[in-house]
Amino acid sequence: MKYDLKKPCEQCPFRSDKPFPLDHDRVMEITNGLLYENTPFSCHKTTTSIGRTNNHKEAQHCGGALIFMEKNDNAHQMMRIMERLGMYDRTKLDMDSPVFDDQREMADVCSEMNGGR
């Protein structure tokens, strides 16, 4: 998986200016995986048609998720490994991008967009 994206795409679920209608439990599942379980999150534009896989050569880690984790000062292990190898540079992330600041904010706003679920 590549760590080249510097900002969220237009349909990124981490965008605070265009909330994605995820229910509360799904937001918690995604963000807990990112923040506490070292789970990467692929950009939906780079997943394969066979299914969600991070193992093909063009897969990219979601730019919004990278910014979200850096905002929370909680980068997962692979981000730091890729950084040490020169394949990820957190200083090049667009930290001014409209990305949720924390898990609670994302869960509240997205679930509201999903009818409060």
Q: What is the pTM of this model?
A: 0.89
Question: CA 100, CA 83: separation in Å to the nearest integer?
Answer: 23
> Is residue 62 within 8 Å of residue 8, measured between CB atoms?
yes
Output the six-digit token pair for 44: 């939906």
Q: List the domain boundaries for the chain.
A: 24-113
CB neighbourhood size of 10 (10 A): 7
Q: How do residues 47-104 score in pLDDT, each as one tens digit?
A: 765 555 555 677 899 999 999 999 999 999 999 999 999 999 999 999 999 999 999 9
